[in-house]
């Protein structure tokens, strides 16, 4: 690993960056560096509220967005151990969606870069925030309650508890979403 690549989390989770984003501002003195917001997203319609919130905030602050999308291979498994989708298929879909997000940011005057990593979403998001020294994390919450939340855990809860910076949790418009669309960001 070179100095510019993100390190895997200390918890032993597997983190594989699809592309290491080294901010162009890294060589600029901190007092003149552009602020960066990390948008944790699965790039699905369930993440739209958090995406809109992050784009609006970044536009108003003159900040950049680093969109981080995490593919959890364990979540792709069906009962019995077979995979519902291959990691490369999910990555290709996320890359297409990420390019649309970059274009949307450009239209609003917001610089957007993205990383697609593989691993446990909460851990990877926190590690990306540390590695990239972001000022804030914006993460969506899918509004699960009770048993659904207990069984599946909460990515946003993990990020809030372990992040090295402030975290804004944006609740999805759960009335718009079908139960099948509620996946961790």
d(CA 21, CA 113): 8
Confidence band of 77 (pLDDT split at 50, 70, 90): confident
d(CA 57, CA 31): 20
More confident residue, 41 or 82: 41
Which class for 85: exposed (0-12), middle (13-18), buried (19 or more C-beta within 10 A)? middle
Per-residue pLDDT, averaged over 105-128, amounts to 96
Domains and CATH numbers, the chain: 35-179 (3.40.50.620)
Confidence band of 9 (pLDDT split at 50, 70, 90): very low
More confident residue, 109 or 25: 109
pTM equals 0.72
| Of 173, 155, 39, 167, the residue nearest 104 (C-alpha) | 39
| Of 50, 55, 59, the residue nearest 125 (C-alpha) | 50
Which class for 53: exposed (0-12), middle (13-18), buried (19 or more C-beta within 10 A)? middle
Predicted local distance difference test score (pLDDT) of residue 184: 42
Predicted local distance difference test score (pLDDT) of residue 85: 86
d(CA 13, CA 36): 25
Per-residue pLDDT, averaged over 135-146, amounts to 80
Per-residue pLDDT, averaged over 3-31, amounts to 44
Could you read off the pLDDT of 40-75 as tens digits, one per residue? 998 888 889 999 999 999 999 999 999 999 999 888
């Amino acid at each position: 690993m070179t100095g510019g690549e993100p390190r895997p989390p200390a918890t032993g989770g597997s983190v594989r960056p699809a592309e290491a984003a080294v901010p162009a501002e890294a060589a600029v003195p901190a007092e003149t560096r552009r602020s960066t917001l990390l948008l944790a997203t699965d790039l699905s319609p369930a993440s739209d509220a958090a995406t809109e919130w992050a784009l609006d905030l970044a536009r108003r602050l003159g900040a950049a967005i680093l969109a981080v999308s995490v593919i959890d291979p364990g979540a792709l498994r069906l009962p019995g151990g077979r995979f519902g989708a291959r990691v490369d298929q999910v990555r290709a879909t996320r890359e297409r969606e990420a390019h649309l997000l970059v274009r949307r940011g450009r239209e609003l005057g917001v610089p957007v870069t993205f990383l697609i990593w593989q691993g446990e979403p909460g851990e990877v998001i926190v590690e990306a925030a540390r590695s990239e020294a972001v000022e804030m994390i914006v993460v969506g919450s899918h509004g699960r309650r009770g048993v659904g939340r207990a069984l599946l855990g909460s990515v946003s809860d993990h990020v809030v508890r372990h992040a090295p910076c402030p975290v804004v949790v944006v609740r999805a418009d759960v009335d718009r979403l079908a139960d099948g669309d509620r996946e961790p960001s």
